[in-house]
Structure 1
Amino acid sequence: MEYWKRIPDKEVVKEGVELAFAALRRHVQARPKETWVGLSVAAASIFIWKYGQDLRHRYFAWINNKFYYMKPQEYEDFKHKVFTCLKDLTSHDPKLKEEKSLRILEIGAGIGANFDLYPNNTHLIVADPNPYFEKYFSENKANFPNIKIETIIVAKGEDIDMVESNSVDVVVTTLVLCSVTDMPKVVSQIKRVLVPGGKYIFVEHVHDWDTKNHRIRRFLQGMLTVIGFWPFIFDGCHLNRNPLPVIDAVGFSNVSSNQDYAPLPVWWMKVAQPHLRGVATK
C-alpha cells in the first residue's frame, strides 16, 4: 500500500490496468486455442523451473536402479580390474588394521553399485547429492551385510569438508566426474581426505580419444553435451570430458591409468563406451 500511495495519479494507473485486462480478454476470446497453448507452455516452464531439478533427481535415481540390473557381468569385470589393488592394502587406522578392514569413501555412490567390489568388513563413507538414491541404496545394502556404513553424506563431491583430512584409506568414483560442477575441486578434496599412501580408484567414461576411427562418436558426444540433451536426461552428465589431466595436475605421487572401450549392454549407451580406469596414490 505504501508504494501505491507514492503514485501521483492512481486513477490513470487504474484505468491503464483495466484497459490491459480488457485487451487480454478480447485476445483470449478471439484466439482461445493459441492462448491456452501459450498458457500451457508458460505453466510447464514455471513447473520445470521450480520442480525440474527435483524431478530429474527422482528420475535419475530410478533409472540408475534399472541400469544396475541391465549391466552385463562383462562390465563388472571391466571395473573389477582396478579394484584388485584393494586386496593388498592395509588401513592406516590401527583399529581397522587389526580388523583387517579398510575405510573407503565413495563419492557418488548412488544405489551402491560397487558393494560387491569391496573387501569384507569395509567401513564405507558415502557422499551423494541426490537424496532419492536412499531407497535403492538401502535395498541394495541389505544384500551386503559385510559392508559397514559409517556415514552417509548428502552433499556434492565439492562439499565434503566434513570428512577429515588424511582420514580414509581409499576414495572411489565410478561414472561421477562427468557430472560434477568443479572437477579440480572434487579431485583436490579426494587427495585431501586420503591418508599418505592412500589410493584413489576411478572408472569414468570420457571423450573418445580416437579422432581417426571414432570421429562420429566424438561429434555426438560433443553435440549431445553442448545442446544440453544428455546433461538434462542424465542429471548433469557430460560426455565430452577427460578427467585425467585434472587428476595428473592435483599432485598425486603416482597415477596409473589406461583408456579402453567398456562393454555396454544397449546400442545407444555406446556413446559413453570410451572409459578411463586408474589408480592414483597420494
Structure 2
Amino acid sequence: MEENEGNNMAEGSRDSQADGEKMMKSWFSDNLISIIIVLALFWLIKKIVFGTQRRWFSYVMHLCTKDEFVQLEEVKKDHFASLSTIVSQDPQLRKQKVIKILEIGVGTGVNFPHYPDGSHLVVVDPNPHFQSYFDANRKKFPNIHSEGIIVTTGDKMEMISDNSVDVVVMTLVLCSVDNIDEVLREILRVLAPGGKYYFMEHIAEFDLKKHWLRRKLQDAFSWLWSFIFDGCRLNCDVLPNIQRAGFSSVDAQKYYAPVPSVIFDLERPNLKGIAVK
C-alpha cells in the first residue's frame, strides 16, 4: 500500500511538472511577439547609450574643464614646476633647450598651461571625440609644439618608439584603465633613461578613521560613477602598482585635492608624484 501511495505521488509530481511545462510553453507561444519587441528595445537602448557614451562623456568633460578652477590649477602648477629643469635626452632637443612630453589620456588638453615653452607634446587618448575640444585648446598655446591626438590606449602605444620621450604625464587617467600594470610597462618603455613620469590621480579614501563614510560611498557609487565617467573607478588605489612597476625611484604623496563642487567630493582623496626610470 505504501508503495502504491509512493507511486501515485511520483506520478502526480510528474503530471504537475508536465502541466507546468505546458503552461510555460503556452505562455511563451502566446507572448512571443511581445518578448521579441521587449528584447529588441533593450538591445536598442543599450546600443544607443553605449554607442554614444564617449561622445557625451567628452562633452561633459569639456563642460567640467572649460572654466579654470584656480585652487586646483595652483596644485598643478606646483606639481609640474620641475618640468622646466629637465634636460632632454635627445641631442637636437637639448640644443634647443626643450623637452619631449607624452601625455596619456589628454582629454581636452587641460595641462597645456603647465608645460614649458617650446615643449614638443605627443598625446594619446582612446576617445576620438576629444579632438575638437583639444584642437580649440591648443590654439591658445602656440608656444607648445603639439600634435593631433593619437587615438589609442596607454597600453597600446606601439607607434611611440622605445626611450623616445623625456617625460610622461597622466592626470586622472589610471582610475579608468583596465590594465594598470600594462600601461606602466609602456610608460617605462617609451621613457628615455632617467626620464620622469608625472602622475596625479584620485584614489580610494585613505584616512578611514576620519572619512570612513566617504570610503563607503565610494564603494557604493563606483559602478554608477564608472558608467557616467567612461570607466572611472572611485575606489581604486594605484600607488602599489606604480611602486612595483620597475621605476628606479617613486616619490609620491597622498593629499586632499580642492574640488570645484560638492558633486566631486568623492574624488577629493588624491595621489601625486614623480617616478624616475
Checking the alignment, whether the CA contact within 8 Å between 1:65 and 1:111 is kept in structure 2 is yes
Change (3 A) 1:244 1:21: closer
CA deviation vs aligned residue, 1:128-166 (integer Å, no higher than 9, x gap): 000000010011111111111246310011111221110
Q: TM-score with structure 1 length normalisation?
A: 0.84
Partner of 1:106: 103
Partner of 2:262: 267
State the SS of the aligned residue for 1:146: coil
* Aligned: 1:49 with 2:46: yes
Residue correspondence of structure 1 range 1-282 to structure 2 within 5 A: 23-24=30-31, 39=37, 42-150=39-147, 152-225=149-222, 228-282=223-277
Unmatched 5+ stretches in structure 1:
1-18, 29-34
Q: TM-score with structure 2 length normalisation?
A: 0.86
1:69 Cα deviation from its structure 2 partner: 2.6
Change (3 A) 1:85 1:168: same
CA deviation vs aligned residue, 1:66-88 (integer Å, no higher than 9, x gap): 11134511001112222111011
Measured in 1, the distance between the counterparts of 2:248 and 2:127 equals 32
Name the amino acid aligned to 2:118. N
Measured in 1, the distance between the counterparts of 2:231 and 2:84 equals 33
- Runs (4+) of structure 1 moved beyond 2 Å? 19-25, 41-45, 47-54
1:249 Cα deviation from its structure 2 partner: 0.2
Measured in 2, the distance between the counterparts of 1:53 and 1:193 equals 32
Change (3 A) 1:93 1:74: same
State the SS of the aligned residue for 2:54: helix
Change (3 A) 1:188 1:143: same
Change (3 A) 1:44 1:100: farther
Measured in 1, the distance between the counterparts of 2:87 and 2:198 equals 15
Checking the alignment, whether the CA contact within 8 Å between 1:70 and 1:265 is kept in structure 2 is no
Change (3 A) 1:210 1:44: farther
Larger radius of gyration, structure 1 or 2? 2
Partner of 2:6: none
Unmatched 5+ stretches in structure 2:
1-25
State the SS of the aligned residue for 1:101: coil
1:43 Cα deviation from its structure 2 partner: 4.1
Measured in 1, the distance between the counterparts of 2:180 and 2:164 equals 21
1:52 Cα deviation from its structure 2 partner: 3.1
Name the amino acid aligned to 1:81. D
Identity percentage of aligned residues: 42
Name the amino acid aligned to 2:65. Y
State the SS of the aligned residue for 2:209: coil
